[in-house]
Amino acid sequence: MTNSFGARLLAARQTAGLTQRELAAGIMSTSQLSLLERNMRRPSVEALDALAGRLGLQASQLSPGLAVVGRQRLECRLDRAERALRQCDYAIAERLATQVICSRTNAARRMRAYCVRAEAREGLHCPRAALDDLGSALGIAKHRHDTSTFARIAIASARLRRQFHLDDAA
């Protein structure tokens, strides 16, 4: 593949045997895709991930720099959410963690974001929502066969569930 993003995208699309309309469907307009292929625009990280997925590639194969920047941005956002938790700024922590969860990111980062959001929601006195987040994090840990993280999340979930039931009884 060549050095420019547009040339790599065009070559990958042609190799996959897709038309511009087929590749762009549900992601962007064909005119936007055309602009990308002609190096007149750069895709968002989300669009890059979606295009790469449809082509059966990793985003870094199409645009190494943009994929790295997107991952770094998500990691920074998650770090800021954890800092907000330490400062008891639960609303900001919840918002930042939700942004990471809603993005196209890897399972480990999504699991970490669910844990951060659960802790923030607990601080905001939303135990049911926190339990839901811990359940999502548990599912990811189970799927990844990450037993130590699974155990840590299960303990936090049990503690929160016990507290939730004690509050209901009072």
Q: To the nearest whole number, what is the mean pLDDT of the chain?
A: 87
> Tens of pLDDT along 9-49?
999 999 999 999 999 998 999 999 999 999 998 887 778 88
Candidate CATH numbers 2.60.40.10, 3.40.50.1970, 3.90.1170.50, 1.25.40.10; the one for domain 70-169: 1.25.40.10
User: Residue 52: CB partners within 8 Å, gap ≥ 6?
Assistant: 58, 59, 61, 62
167: pLDDT strictly greater than 70: no
Q: Which residues of the chain form CATH 1.25.40.10? A: 70-169
DSSP 81-134: HHHHHHTT-HHHHHHHHHHHHHSS--HHHHHHHHHHHHHHHHHTT-HHHHHHHH
Please give the pLDDT value at position 54: 92
More confident residue, 32 or 103: 32
Assess if CATH 1.10.260.40 describes domain 5-62.
yes
Predicted model pTM: 0.59
Mean of the pLDDT values across residues 162-166?
75
> Tens of pLDDT along 85-98?
999 999 999 999 99
Q: How far apart are CA 131 and CA 28, in angstroms?
A: 36
**Nearest alpha-carbon partner for 100 in 77, 116, 84:** 77
Residues 101 and 117: beta-carbon distance below 8 Å:
yes
Please give the pLDDT value at position 124: 95
